Structure 1
Amino acid sequence: MSMLTLDRVWKSYRVGAFGGRELTAVRDASFAVRPGELVSLIGESGSGKTTIGRMALRLTPVSKGAITYDGQDVSALTGRGLAGYYRNVQGVFQDPFSSYNPIFKADRVLHTIRSGLFPEVGAAEWRKRVDAALESVRLDPRQVLDKYPHQLSGGQLQRMLIARALLLDIRLLIADEIISMLDASTRIDVLNLLGDLKARGLGILFITHDLSLGHYISDRAVILRRGVVVEMGPTGKVFGEPLHPYTRTLLSSVPQLHTKWERTPAGPVAGAERCVYHELRPDEPCEPGGPPALASADGDHLVGCARLD
């Protein structure tokens, strides 16, 4: 059973003088995240990845379609229902430094949870919970508590934000480019931490532009281009047998350690002229108002129309 489901979700903005033009950032996106599953949402900058994450977190309203959590429409939640949603679903974003006020100690982000959501928990019991959450993300409480943000590394601050989410005993984590600002050694620590959380049953939506990271960590991959889901399925199938020209172009752009750059073939990617979607559905028209539904090429390996741009 899916925890988080996007059903034909659109997001449009009014832009230009007096809002005279409409910019569509996300178009007809549908996919789901299940318990204990890590889904990578992959696309280049400006493809709509962060917009989808913000809509799932109720930070940005949905223009059309629906996002549901355990069958409930997220946009309809209010009051206690919304507070309960945030106890189960939390987000961690790209820049950990922006989540902290430099004039307060970093552990303030942990203690504000107690005052807002767990006022009945005593100080000693709360300290035990904080220590356990920090240790679960491989932080020594003695080294990070009572420190200011500038005294901690980006990796420590990012893991502290994940510990904050764990204090709520969440079921779903939306991780938006959470390791793009970290050094290589710290990236591995955070990726392994996400793997541990997944093994404990946490559902994770991992938003990234880095193909190698998505390949390394995810169970399923969703490829996003200009706000449209063009391909999705088990990571091994999407990366091993890419069907959409955009997916093949992305994969061909990854530098190969065994090949010199000057030997990398230029020009169109082999097979870029194919539209697998219309090979599977030859009579399906390309609707000008939006993309057609994804077609199943092999069970849960789905591909969209390559002609619709």
Structure 2
Amino acid sequence: MLRLDDVTKRFRTGMLGGGSVTAVSDVSFEVAPGEVVSLIGESGSGKSTIGRMILGLQPVTSGTITFDGSHVRPGKEFYRHVQGIFQDPFSSFNPVFKADRVFAMIKDVYHPSTPGPEWARRVEAALHDVRLNPGQVLGKYPHQLSGGQLQRLLIARALLLEIRLLVADEITSMLDASTRIDVLNLLAELKARGLGVLYITHDLSLGTYLAERTVVLRRGSVVEMGPTGQVFGGPLHPYTRELLAAVPRLHQPWDDAVPVDACAYHVHGGTGVLAEAGPGHHVACARLGTCP
């Protein structure tokens, strides 16, 4: 369904744009229908940049992003099938309009011929699917609703389209713990219906909750990817081990950070190449191509 091949993104820097910085370098992975893939890395690793390129919000410098075999072309038909939800739900709503205006906009663009009563029935059904009471959220302004309610409204909006892929960028980071689990359980239900999800997060515990596969990003490059159980159960790259060591554990001290200085997975003297360490489990050079 979704495929990234050697995707690179460079941003111009300097007053005259004479310099550049590479935010994403030669990233390749896929998301299949009904699959959740976690894209994990620290802040500044390029996760959100990848999400924005998939959604067509930023151009790709080199490489290709395809959806159903066709190059991503932002527009009405593309967004009928691919939607994104972002970290701050309040930023997705105009504070001067009631929150349910997002449904009116979907109707105007994608379903203009649908009769009003039929559309109201579809909206209520979508709200029930995301476990919201229509009477408690429709007609409210964004500031009258919680972050969790607004995130669910955005998911309900996506359900009113023929959505097949959801790019979920840190969608639980501003929610409390109980609401966070509710949203993740909702994504699990949607996955069971065949929805593909790219779940972008820096939280390893949440990344393991849903994802069949995990992609670990460091400084814009993939350093390890594979089945989630293998990546977290038997991490091979020092950076992955360092991330896991940094996760707080009750009743025991944190492990010392593992220095990223090994080079067991440098492949054929090249850069950006992942070695297959097991079935579907790939790992990169630990020095990200800086080996002599």
Global fold match (TM > 0.5): yes
Deviations 1:113-168 (A, max 9, x none): 10111101010010011001111000011111011111111100010000001100
The corresponding residue for 1:137 is 130
Amino acid at match of 1:146: G
1:301 paired residue among 252, 264, 281: 281
Judging changes above 3 Å, is the alpha-carbon distance between structure 1 residues 90 and 56 closer, same or farther for their aligned structure 2 residues?
A: same
SS at match of 2:16: helix
Q: TM-score, normalised by structure 1?
A: 0.91
SS at match of 2:149: helix
The corresponding residue for 1:277 is 265
SS at match of 1:60: coil
Shift of 1:267: 5.5
Amino acid at match of 1:155: G
1:58 paired residue among 52, 56, 59: 56
Q: TM-score, normalised by structure 2?
A: 0.96
Shift of 1:275: 2.9
Provide the alpha-carbon RMSD of the alignment: 1.3
Shift of 1:276: 3.5
User: Equivalents in 1 of 2:195, 2:257: separation in Å?
Assistant: 42
User: Equivalents in 1 of 2:42, 2:202: separation in Å?
Assistant: 5
Unaligned 5+ runs, structure 1: none
User: Equivalents in 2 of 1:86, 1:267: separation in Å?
Assistant: 42
Q: How many residues align?
A: 289
Amino acid at match of 2:47: K
Shift of 1:20: 1.6
The corresponding residue for 2:67 is 69
Verify the 8 A CA contact 1:277 1:295 in the aligned structure 2. Answer: yes
SS at match of 1:303: strand
Unaligned 5+ runs, structure 2: none
Judging changes above 3 Å, is the alpha-carbon distance between structure 1 residues 99 and 230 closer, same or farther for their aligned structure 2 residues?
A: same
The corresponding residue for 1:123 is 116
SS at match of 1:189: helix
Verify the 8 A CA contact 2:83 2:165 in the aligned structure 1. Answer: yes
Amino acid at match of 1:230: V
User: Equivalents in 2 of 1:210, 1:294: separation in Å?
Assistant: 24
Structure (1 or 2) with the greater helix fraction: 1
Deviations 1:264-290 (A, max 9, x none): 453645xx5543423xx4xx113xxxx
Shift of 1:292: 3.0
User: Equivalents in 1 of 2:272, 2:8: separation in Å?
Assistant: 14
Verify the 8 A CA contact 2:245 2:256 in the aligned structure 1. Answer: no
User: Equivalents in 1 of 2:82, 2:70: separation in Å?
Assistant: 13
User: Equivalents in 2 of 1:33, 1:285: separation in Å?
Assistant: 29
The alignment-based identity, stated in percent, is: 64
Verify the 8 A CA contact 2:245 2:255 in the aligned structure 1. Answer: no
SS at match of 2:8: strand
Amino acid at match of 2:76: A
Query: Is 1:103 matched with 2:96?
Result: yes
User: Equivalents in 2 of 1:239, 1:128: separation in Å?
Assistant: 43
